[in-house]
Structures are given as structure tokens and as C-alpha cells.
Structure 1
């Protein structure tokens, strides 16, 4: 991999701030495409800007997909990590000035500044993690988010079948749409196998504070939870110490917690990035919502292999998981997308 850091990009900060408003104007169907000057020769010059280390679970999936495209020879890839929100606009501009054709990243805390940069560089394509929608004022600014509610729902079915106390603890970073929809999907899945289940829901106010997440999980265990939903790093450590089970999110951490993490919802960023690369190459990149490419039917998410827990989950439960997965993939069943803040119940 190639690492590039234009200027200072210090201080580990939150990947996002809590949104101030609920949404923005949706893109018009006839939004203009980028000028034909974006028609790219091989490989496409791609730059990524991350506010946390590339090891962080959400960012790691973007980084993984970019490296896969680089290894195929489809792109030249450079990136900056640990970029503070106050530095984000400057780094974006430096990458644009350096001639990168596609800039990817996460602008949840710098929406206005990022769209201003996009307006100033109309010949550059931007694909940015965002809880807002694209708009016709920025025809080169597309958005994405990890809509992995399908896989989260399936992990909930498993968790509901395995809890003995009918009490599950859930620890998240911030109650924003990306997190909320996954928690709601997980809770809906758990109710499929345990209709009377109770949930303890807590948010730690950080995207990377494993000690705080761990302590929050301990408190939920002390309050009766026997399975933990690990939206943040640190939760599985608490489960491991108390010899309980955990459900993973975005990445598969079972290798690190072989007796703890029973199932995980995996995010695959490859379909999202590959779609953007193809459109840049074809000169057809435009403002669009790439969220759909995280759906299971597009290969954007999956249930991780059970690994060490293979054969330990009842066959009837896994048959139900398989049935629901098939229905999700063929469109006969749709997991609800609920972006409202989940509450303990």
C-alpha cells in the first residue's frame, strides 16, 4: 500500500460528530454528469482521507477494497489517516491539486466544507461517507454509507436463540443513522427467536475508545446481559473476560476472540468502490447515493462464517437464518431500515 500525508494530519479524533439535522435534499434524477475530462486512463488516481487509523473497523473495509483495486491494477491509491476535521478541507484540496481523479473518505463532521471543495473542483469525482444525500448543486459529489442491516438482522436471529437470560447488551459509538439502523435490524432479528427479549442500549460518545466501551459492557453484564452486541471495539473484551458471547459488526474478529464472537455482520465496500471506478473510467460519474451497494443482494454485506462456533448453534436456528438470507437475496423479504435512535426495552 502507499501512504501519503499532505501536510499535518495529526490527532486521533472521532470519525463523526452527531448530525445537526436529519437529512438533506435528494439528488434530482437528471443530475448532470461530470465533464468528459474525467474519462480516465488506466489506472485511476484515487486518494482517500480518513479521520481514524486504517485499522479502525469501518475505515478498514474501505482501505481493504481500495487495496484490492490497486492490486488488480485498476487504481493508483494513496491515503491519509488520522486527519482531524479541522484539517479535512485542506487535505481534500491538496489531493485535488495533485491531480487525483477520485477522492474517497468520510465527511460526517465536515459536510459543508467537503461540498464546498467539490464545487471548486468540478472535474474531480468525490465518493464520501455521509448520512446526507447527494444534491444537484454538486454533480460530482456522491455519497455512501454502510447499509448492512441485512447481515445485522441475521446475527440477531442467532443471538436471540443463544441468550439464556433474555437480556442483550448493546454498545454503540453515537446514535446516528448508520449505527441506529444496524442496531434496530439486530433487535428485530433477535425477536424472531426470542419474542420477549430485553435490550440494554448505550452509546459511549466516541468512535474509538475501547476502555470506555468495555466498561459500559461490564455494566450491562452486571445488569443481566448474557450476550453483547459489539458495535465498538472493547465490547468483545468485556464478553471474553466474563466468558460470555458477543456479536461482531463490520469486520470479523473471531480470530481474536475464538470463544467469544459467535457471529458477525460483515461490510464489503468492494461493490461500492468498483461502481465508482467504473463510472470514472467511463466519464459518467455523477451525484448519486451509493448506499444500495452495501445491501446483501448487491454483495455489500454478509454473515461471517461461524468458524469455531460451527455446529454449536442449533440446526433449526441456522435453517431459519438460511431461509431469511435467501428471502433477502431474492427480494421476497426486506429488512426494515430504521434510522431512529434505539432505546433500551
Structure 2
């Protein structure tokens, strides 16, 4: 999959104008200290607890790589954005080979840190593209729109009122594209379906997400899209159904969560580890490793809802999934903020 490590076009926003000239000539990460290493030192930096949906997928992948003996892994959680650059520097100074995390709230500062440590590889969740001027920083994102689309088909078939409530964290591309894909899938089963869309302004505030979901239920929603923790709790309390996101919570909500779009970070991390070990790590967009065809996303097993989803919907899910994996059908990637409709 070396084709995925070729730098993409210039990013949507340019950072580090003053450093661009010096760093552009640096090329790929120097392999001198890495070729001799069997096991890489990897550090994770997270702004939320590792139990949080999105971050948990990175953490699980890193733990699996450590169990295989590919890496030595440590991490910092609940790191405030104001502290993020400092923690990046501390790990870089301690000799870590690869630092992984999420820089959505600290884009410019994080890229400045990466520029100061050209022999350290940085793999960061980002709303923006890679910048060839910072060749040791690659970006990724949870492009699980394929699985979100399939979960929407199921939601559209299971909603009796045709009114779905959708609660997200922030209206950023990472969230927006999944919501749009979900909505497109739901419309496959019911073109007249309506959506209530709201964002709580937090990545981890289950009580607020729950209250927002309650308001949507009062406004007629009989199905909820649980992009955040807390939404499925509201659905459970009111005896309604929900669709999960990123992780599989069916066992926690066996009578509530019908389906979930899962993110598998293993392909992304494994590609980065291989690139660092080969001395080939460079500015690139690793987001494609989250696509279903790359094994980066899937639809969770239906569990207790097996056999309860209309056959027409499941037949369409199977048809679309096969077409996605074969490259015959592409789910649209729409990063614009979704609105109620």
C-alpha cells in the first residue's frame, strides 16, 4: 500500500510559513536511528479519557501492537489543549520514535513542535491535510462514512415515525461526514425521513448529550444517532432505539442499540509503524486506511437485533457493502455542517 504514503496536494490551510523553506528540503524521516530498532517507542497523547469512543480505538490498536512486540507504548490522557504542545515536546525529548494523538484544537502549535523534532514521527488526527513543509507529520481521520451509511439504512428501516434525532460533539469534518453518510443511508429506506441535528460543544459530556437527546424525543424522534456517549442512555430510558458510532455498545444496550458503525484504527497505526521502521515515514494522509475497503471500518454485528431488521433493509446493506468493498459504490464524503431537515 505504498501508494498511500505519497504526499497529497497542499493542505487547505498553510501553517508554519516561516519554517517552510528549511523543512521542505528535509524529505522523509531520517532512518538512521530506526533501521536498527526492532521495537519502536510510541507515545499517545489524548485530550480525553482513553475510554472515550474515538480515542479508545487508537488506544486499543496501540495496545495490540505492543502485545505483538512491535512497539513499546505509553500514553497521556485528559491533556488540555493548552498543555498539548508541551507534552509533545516532552515525549520527543525522551526519545520516542512515533507520537500519535489528536490535534484538532491545537493545529498550528502542534505542527510547530513537529518542525522542531524532524527525527520524530508524528501521526496526528487532524481536520486539515498533511503539509509537505513538515515532512515528519502525517495526519489521519476516522473516515468511516462507509459503515455510517450502512447503519443509516438500518435506522431508516427501523424508524416508525420517520423522525431521527442526531447528537454530535462538534460540527467538524470528522463528525459531519459521518452524519451526512448516515442520513444518506436512512433516505435509501425513506426519502421523506426528517432529522433533528444538534451539537453539544464537547467531546465528553454524557449528561449534556443525554439531555439534548431527551429534547429530540420530546420533539417526535423515535430513533437516535448516538455520536456521543449519553445518547443511548436517553433512548434506553424512553424505550426507543439508537444507532452507535465508532465503538460497539450493543452488549451494553441490548434492547436499544440496533447497529453501530465501527472504526478500526489498526490498519492506520500498522501502516505508520511499518513506514517508520522502513525509514519511509513522511507527510501523508493516512485517512484512507479508515475506509471499509482497507479494513478500517465495518458494521457491528446486530446482536439481539439479528432477524429483527426488515429483510429489505438487510438485503440492501449486503448489496451496498459488497459494492463498497469492490470499489463499485462510493459513499459521498461531505464535510459540511449538517442541519435539521
| TM norm structure 1 | 0.91
CA contact 2:165–2:213 (8 Å) conserved in 1: yes
CA contact 2:31–2:277 (8 Å) conserved in 1: no
1:77 lines up with 2:66 in the alignment? no
1:177 paired residue among 168, 173, 196: 173
| 1:59-81: CA deviation from partner (whole Å, max 9, x where unpaired) | 00000000000000000001000
Give 2:240's aligned residue.
Answer: 244
Deviation at 1:38, TM superposition (A): 4.6
1:23 lines up with 2:12 in the alignment? yes
1:257, 1:165 → 2: CA distance?
Answer: 22
For residues 114-133 of structure 1, the aligned pairs below 5 Å read 114-133=110-129
1:37 paired residue among 32, 36, 42: 32
1:86, 1:186 → 2: CA distance?
Answer: 33
1:234 lines up with 2:230 in the alignment? yes
Give 2:4's aligned residue.
Answer: none
Give 1:327's aligned residue.
Answer: 323
Give 2:64's aligned residue.
Answer: 68
1:265 lines up with 2:261 in the alignment? yes
1:72, 1:52 → 2: CA distance?
Answer: 26
2:184, 2:300 → 1: CA distance?
Answer: 19
2:162 paired residue among 141, 153, 166: 166
Structure 2 residue runs without a partner (length 5+)? 1-10
Instruction: Provide closer, same or farther for how the CA distance between residues 235 and 73 of structure 1 changes in structure 2, counting only shifts above 3 A.
Output: same
1:341 paired residue among 330, 337, 340: 337
Give 2:42's aligned residue.
Answer: 46
For residues 138-217 of structure 1, the aligned pairs below 5 Å read 138-217=134-213
| 1:159-196: CA deviation from partner (whole Å, max 9, x where unpaired) | 00011101000000111000000000000000000110
CA contact 1:157–1:192 (8 Å) conserved in 2: yes
CA contact 1:31–1:287 (8 Å) conserved in 2: no
Structure 1 residue runs without a partner (length 5+)? 1-21
Instruction: Provide closer, same or farther for how the CA distance between residues 38 and 142 of structure 1 changes in structure 2, counting only shifts above 3 A.
Output: farther
Deviation at 1:30, TM superposition (A): 10
CA contact 1:231–1:248 (8 Å) conserved in 2: yes
Deviation at 1:333, TM superposition (A): 0.3
Aligned residues: 323
| TM norm structure 2 | 0.92
Q: CA RMSD in A?
A: 1.6
Flag as ranges the 4+ runs of structure 1 deviating above 6 A. none
| 1:186-234: CA deviation from partner (whole Å, max 9, x where unpaired) | 0000000011000000111111111111111011011110000000000
SS of the residue aligned with 1:126?
Answer: strand
1:296 paired residue among 276, 292, 299: 292
SS of the residue aligned with 1:51?
Answer: coil
